[in-house]
């Protein structure tokens, strides 16, 4: 359900009782429309019984929205402006939605949706909880929208606990000057760190399986 879902009852009532606002001349469209913002996402009805397609599709996975809005202020991003303020779902509510969706659909992958999933305040703990809940069933997690300056080794480690899935990064421009113009304040070092994250190594020449991994 999108932002307009909150006004469904008002729209139905208007259709039943006739127009209550002045329309644009020559059409039935209202002259003025007030923005409606859903303040509490946890109270918003969310599809608990997702439809599963009969054929293979590109995004063949369970999609769960973790928060709405963005505070980054990139100058080219309309969605980051019109979906303010930032509203997050409770981590326990997200895990419950995933449990219900996986049980109803049988999907083997879940995608955490938002304008920038790594900006979710408890993303590392949430990923860890999801993998603890479903890792034994080989359910993987993908993050389709990430800012490179918010990406961490902890996020990468949790995502890869079952199998490698999708990580989408958007540098937006090739130079720091152009990124500054559009207010996408991502440094070159951030881009390189996201593209070449630290790899686990062993402290001796023994078999990796017999030695603990050390991040460097």
The predicted-structure confidence for 83-105, as pLDDT tens digits, reads as follows: 888 899 999 999 999 999 999 88
User: Residue 3 above 70 pLDDT?
Assistant: no
Cα separation, 140 vs 111, whole angstroms:
9
pTM higher than 0.85 for the full model?
no
**pLDDT-above-90 percentage for the chain:** 9
Q: Which domains does the chain have, with CATH numbers?
A: 1-36 (no CATH), 39-197 (3.30.750.210)
Q: Which residues contact 94 (CB under 8 A, 6 or more apart)?
A: 64, 66, 112, 126, 130
For residue 202, the model assigns a pLDDT of: 46
Cα separation, 206 vs 210, whole angstroms:
7
The predicted-structure confidence for 10-46, as pLDDT tens digits, reads as follows: 565 555 555 555 666 766 667 777 777 888 888 888 8
Q: Which of 74, 58, 156 is nearest to 116 (CA)?
A: 74
The predicted-structure confidence for 57-71, as pLDDT tens digits, reads as follows: 877 888 899 998 888
For residue 24, the model assigns a pLDDT of: 61
């Amino acid at each position: 359900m999108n932002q307009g879902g909150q006004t469904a009852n008002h729209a139905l009532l208007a259709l039943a009782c006739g127009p209550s606002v002045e329309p644009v001349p020559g059409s039935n469209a209202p002259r003025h429309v007030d923005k409606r913002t859903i303040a509490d996402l946890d109270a918003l009805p969310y599809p608990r019984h997702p439809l599963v397609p009969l054929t293979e599709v590109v995004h063949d996975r369970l999609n769960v929205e973790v928060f709405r809005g963005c505070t980054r202020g990139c100058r080219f991003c309309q969605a980051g402006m019109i979906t303010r303020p930032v509203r997050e779902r409770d981590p326990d509510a997200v895990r419950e939605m995933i449990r219900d969706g996986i049980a109803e659909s049988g999907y083997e992958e879940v995608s955490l949706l938002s304008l920038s999933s790594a900006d979710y305040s408890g993303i590392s703990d949430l990923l860890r909880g999801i993998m603890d809940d479903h890792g034994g069933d080989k359910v993987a997690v993908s993050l389709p929208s990430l800012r490179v300056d918010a990406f961490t080794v902890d996020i990468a480690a949790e995502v890869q606990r079952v199998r490698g899935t999708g990580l989408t990064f958007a540098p937006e421009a090739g130079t720091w000057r152009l990124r500054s113009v559009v207010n996408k304040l991502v440094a070159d070092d951030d881009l390189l760190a996201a593209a070449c994250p630290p790899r686990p190594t062993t402290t001796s020449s023994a078999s990796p399986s017999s030695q603990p991994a050390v991040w460097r």
